[in-house]
Structure 1
C-alpha cells in the first residue's frame, strides 16, 4: 500500500469517499484547515482504529509539511487501516487550492464592502481617522508577511484608495527572510489571487535567527522591522504599515504588566528612531482577530502561519497544543478571564487611555523617571 496521496489525487475523490484527519495542534489549525477535516491528535489515533477499519473508506492524514504524518500513517496501515499521508501536508494543499480558486478575489473584495463592512472596513477607517495614520501625500509601504492580517490590511488599503478621499501612494512590500519554497509559493499565489502587486526582496534573517538559542522571535521581529524600514525608505516611502490588530494590543498590555512589570501599550503609530523621516502605523488597531478569521474562512482563503524554520519542524509535534510562547499564555489567560467578565478585553484596551498620573507611584517621560513625591 502506498504511504502518500497528493492534493491533486485527493481532489479527484468525492468528500464522502474518504475520512480527512488534521493531526496538527490547535495553534496551527487556528490558521485554517482543509474543508471537511476533523482535528484528531496522533495520540488519539488508537481509539479510532476500529472505527476507521470498518468505515469502508480510506483515511487521509495531514500535518503541516507532510513529514510528521508519515509515521502515524505507517502505524495505522500496520493496524489494518487503509490510510495515506497527504504529500506536502497542509502547505502543499493550500498552494493547490489557491491555483484553482480564481473567483475568490471578487468575493473577498465584495465581502469587505458588504458582509464585513461594519467589522473590518469601518474600524479600519476609524483607526486611520482617530489616530491620524494617513495624510495627503503619504507613500505607505504596506508590509505583507503572507498571513491573514497583512493580506487583509492590503485589501483594506486598496479599498480606501478606491474611495479617492485624497491622494496617497501604496507599495505592497514583502520581505523573504528565508521562507521555504512551499511558503513562498503560498504567498505569491495569494498575492496573485487577491490582486496584491507585491514588491519582494530577500534577507537572511531566518539563517541569523537560527543561530540564536534565546528569544529568537524577539530578535526576528526587531530585525524584520529594520529591514522593512530600510527598504521602504529606499523606495521613497515615508511610512510602513504593519498588521497588528486589537487582540495584539491587549495581549501586549497584559504581557508588559505580568512579565515586564510595566504599564505600556502597542502604539497605533510611532516615529522611527533609526530611520529619519520614517513612521510606523498600525491600521488594524481596532479590528478583532476573530473577525479577520471569519473573513478568511467565509471566502475560503488560506494563508501561511509564522513560517520560520522553528515552525516548519514544530507545528505538528505537540498534539496538546502546548507552547512556550508567552503570547499564547496571555491569549489563554484572557480567554479564561472573559468567562468571568465579558468586557475584560475592552477594559484592558481602555486601561491605557485612562491613566491618572496622580494615582501612580512613578512614570517615565522621555526616558526620565518621575516619582510621585516630586509633586506631593
Structure 2
C-alpha cells in the first residue's frame, strides 16, 4: 500500500477503532490547540508511527504545526535503516538525532536500565523539541499502557498512580507531554499494521533482549487472564484512578506533602 492508501484507512476501515478514540482523547483533555507546535516522538514502533499519521490528519481541522523527531539511542544499523524506510514509506519527514543512551543506561544502571533509559530519552526529546520551537511533545502510549501502569504501581511499586494523558514538564518551562492515543486499544493498532502490511521495530535494547519476561509483560498477561473471565476488568482498572475516594485512603501525598487518615483525629 502507498502512504496515501495507508492514511486513507484511518478515514475508512479504522475510523471507528483508531481515528475516533484519538479525536475523543484530543478533545477530552485539550491535547492539541491552535498555534501549538508539537514534536511527535517516533520510537520506530507501531504506536508512534500511527500517532504521526493521526496528528497529520488532525492538521486538516486544527491549525497547528508538527515536527517528527526520532532519537537513535545506539541502534544496530539494521534497526535504524528499518526506521528510515518506514518513515519514507509513510511520508513522514523524520528528523533523527544521535545519542548513546543505550550504552550509558547499561553501564550506570545494570539492574534497572529501562528506568534510566526512559528518563534520558525524555530529556533528550524535550531538549530537541525546544530547539525546534515546540511547546509539546507527543508520545505513543495507548489505553493498554495506561491500565498496565496502574497495576504496575500497585503490584511492584506499592503505590496508586496513573499514566496521565497530559503532563506539564518539570524541567522545561512552558512545555507539555501529551498522549493522544490514550483511548486507543493496542489490538486495534496491531490490526491496522497487519492490514496495511507494515512491520515495526521492537525495542533494540540489549538488556531487554536478556529478559524473557519483563514486569510489564507479566502485568499484560495478568490483565488478559482476568479480562477473559470479566470483560469489564480493563475499563474498571482505567476508571479506578478517576474515582479515588481520598476519605477512604490510609495515606496520600500531594504538593503540600504526605497526609494520613489519622490527621483528622488529631
TM-score by length of 1: 0.68
Q: Corresponding residue for 1:86?
A: none
Q: Corresponding residue for 2:4?
A: 106
In structure 2, which of residues 79, 83, 96 is the aligned counterpart of residue 183 of structure 1? 79
Matched residues in 2 for 1:332 and 1:367: separation?
37
Matched residues in 2 for 1:375 and 1:193: separation?
61
Q: Corresponding residue for 2:185?
A: 288
Q: Corresponding residue for 1:339?
A: 228
Matched residues in 1 for 2:149 and 2:120: separation?
19
Matched residues in 2 for 1:234 and 1:182: separation?
28
Q: Corresponding residue for 2:120?
A: 223
Q: Corresponding residue for 2:264?
A: 375
Matched residues in 1 for 2:188 and 2:259: separation?
40
Deviation of 1:324 after TM superposition, in Å, equals 3.7
**Are the aligned partners of 1:104 and 1:299 in contact in 2 as well (CA < 8 Å)?**
no
Matched residues in 2 for 1:291 and 1:118: separation?
10
Number of paired residues?
Answer: 264
Q: Corresponding residue for 2:206?
A: 309
- Hey, which bits of structure 1, 4+ residues long, moved more than 6 A? none
For residues 223-270 of structure 1, what are the alpha-carbon distances to aligned partners after superposition, in whole Å with 9 as ceiling and x for unaligned?
A: 000000011011100000000000000000001011111111001111
Matched residues in 2 for 1:310 and 1:357: separation?
39
Q: Which SS does the other structure have where 2:224 is aligned?
A: helix
Q: Which has the larger radius of gyration?
A: 1
Matched residues in 2 for 1:210 and 1:304: separation?
20
Matched residues in 1 for 2:200 and 2:256: separation?
40
Q: Which SS does the other structure have where 1:210 is aligned?
A: helix
Deviation of 1:367 after TM superposition, in Å, equals 5.5
Asked whether 1:119 is paired with 2:17, we answer: yes
Deviation of 1:276 after TM superposition, in Å, equals 1.1
Matched residues in 1 for 2:114 and 2:260: separation?
34
Aligned pairs for 1:168-317 (under 5 A) are: 168-211=64-107, 212-310=109-207, 314=210
Q: Which SS does the other structure have where 1:323 is aligned?
A: coil
Q: Corresponding residue for 1:353?
A: 242
Asked whether 1:134 is paired with 2:32, we answer: yes
Asked whether 1:151 is paired with 2:49, we answer: yes
Deviation of 1:372 after TM superposition, in Å, equals 1.7
Asked whether 1:366 is paired with 2:255, we answer: yes
RMSD over equivalenced CA pairs, Å:
1.3
**Are the aligned partners of 2:113 and 2:207 in contact in 1 as well (CA < 8 Å)?**
no
Deviation of 1:308 after TM superposition, in Å, equals 1.8
Matched residues in 2 for 1:360 and 1:123: separation?
32
For residues 158-212 of structure 1, what are the alpha-carbon distances to aligned partners after superposition, in whole Å with 9 as ceiling and x for unaligned?
A: 11112x3x32110011111111110101000000000000011111101212213
For residues 102-149 of structure 1, what are the alpha-carbon distances to aligned partners after superposition, in whole Å with 9 as ceiling and x for unaligned?
A: x33122111111010011111101111101111111100000010000
Deviation of 1:344 after TM superposition, in Å, equals 0.3
Q: Which SS does the other structure have where 2:96 is aligned?
A: strand
Deviation of 1:156 after TM superposition, in Å, equals 0.3
**Are the aligned partners of 1:177 and 1:202 in contact in 2 as well (CA < 8 Å)?**
yes
Instruction: Tell me whether 325-334 or 359-368 shows the greater mean CA deviation.
Output: 359-368
Matched residues in 2 for 1:116 and 1:235: separation?
32
TM-score by length of 2: 0.96
Q: Which SS does the other structure have where 1:174 is aligned?
A: strand
